[in-house]
Amino acid sequence: MDQQRSAQGKGARAVMDYERHRVEIVAQTGLLRSAVAGADLTAPVPSCPGWNLGQLLKHLGEGHRWAETIVRTRATRPPSDRRLRDLPAGHEEDAAELGAWLAEGAERLGETLRDAGPGALMWTPLPGEGSAFLARRFAHETAVHRADAALAVGVEYSLNPEVARDGLDEWMKLESLPQAFDIHPGKRELLGPGRTLLFQATDGDAAWLVDLTGDTIACRRATGEAAVTVRGPSAGLLLVLYGRRAPAREDGVEVLGDAHLLDWWLSRVGFGS
């Protein structure tokens, strides 16, 4: 641990700003819509077991509308998310109709975020956050669900490395929140001496250290020695952390060191859907 060099100075802030997050919600939705044009909505989504493509698109579209309601009304308590959790099977629409509905919700969310600006306060899953949190969260929610859709229809998926690195920064921030132990007490089992993981992007000067040796999970931008190192393109690392793909050399992702620690950690982390 003495050899580790912190990079928090330039990595503590989001890689992308509020305006970019807002724009990416719409841009990623457009790319997703193109990927599923003409697709069978009953096709299973391998990375979301139990869901078909229609349900995935409905989940994302309802999520955009849920967030838009929070921002527009400056909600002080969470609106119902029942429609996000209790989705119909999705046989009745065609992909074009559902794609247009999805685009409408994304554009509406983007416009409402634009009108609110980055400093607007409202209820969010994290106390004290506001429009900036929701813009960033739904930029990456959309990008990752686009990967789910690509896997379902068998098309290639790529993600701008800058977007992926910002997604990695956000993932690390959320995964290391102290309240994670309150929600998932079993995560405390991850803590122990010598348990460190390094995720190193090969398409940019960025690395993230996950330190499990203390009393909490600590994630930060850093380089150095670790029990296990995962190297690969930023988008590949993001999909590994979200549980969408296992590390694979064909994706340019390699694992060096204690692979069992990586597998154990990945089986117990993650947030949201």
pLDDT for residue 7: 33
Instruction: Tell me the DSSP string of the chain.
Output: -TT-EE-HHHHSS-SS-HHHHHHHHHHHHHHHHHHHTT--TT-B-TTSTT-BHHHHHHHHHHHHHHHHHHHHHT-SSPPP-HHHHS-----SS-HHHHHHHHHHHHHHHHHHHHHH-TT-B---SSTT-BHHHHHHHHHHHHHHHHHHHHHHHT------HHHHHHHHHHHHHHHT-TTHHHH-GGGGGG--TT-EEEEEESSSS-EEEEE-SSSS-EEEEEES--SEEEEE-HHHHHHHHTTSS---GGGT-EEEE-HHHHHHHHTT-----
Residue 60: is its pLDDT beyond 60?
Answer: yes
Share of the chain above pLDDT 90, in %: 74
pLDDT in tens, 144-178: 999 999 999 999 999 999 999 999 999 999 988 88
pLDDT in tens, 75-115: 999 987 766 655 555 545 678 889 999 999 999 999 999 99
| Contact between 208 and 199 (Cβ < 8 Å) | yes
For residue 179, name the pLDDT band (cuts at 50, 70, 90).
Answer: confident
| Contact between 198 and 226 (Cβ < 8 Å) | yes
Residues 6+ apart with CB under 8 A from 156: 150
Share of the chain above pLDDT 70, in %: 89
pLDDT for residue 51: 94
> The sheet that has 196-201: what strands, in order across it?
5-6, 218-223, 207-211, 196-201, 228-232, 254-257
| Averaged pLDDT, 34-42 | 92
pLDDT for residue 109: 98
Domains of the chain in sequence order: 18-157 (1.20.120.450), 176-266 (3.30.1050.10)
Q: How far apart are the first and last CA of the chain?
A: 33
Instruction: Record the tokens describing residue 58, joined without a space.
Output: 């409905």
For the chain, what is the largest distance between any 2 Cα atoms, rounded to a whole number of angstroms? 59
pLDDT for residue 74: 97
pLDDT for residue 89: 55
pLDDT in tens, 205-261: 899 999 999 999 999 999 999 999 999 999 999 999 999 999 988 789 999 999 999
pTM over the 0.85 mark: yes
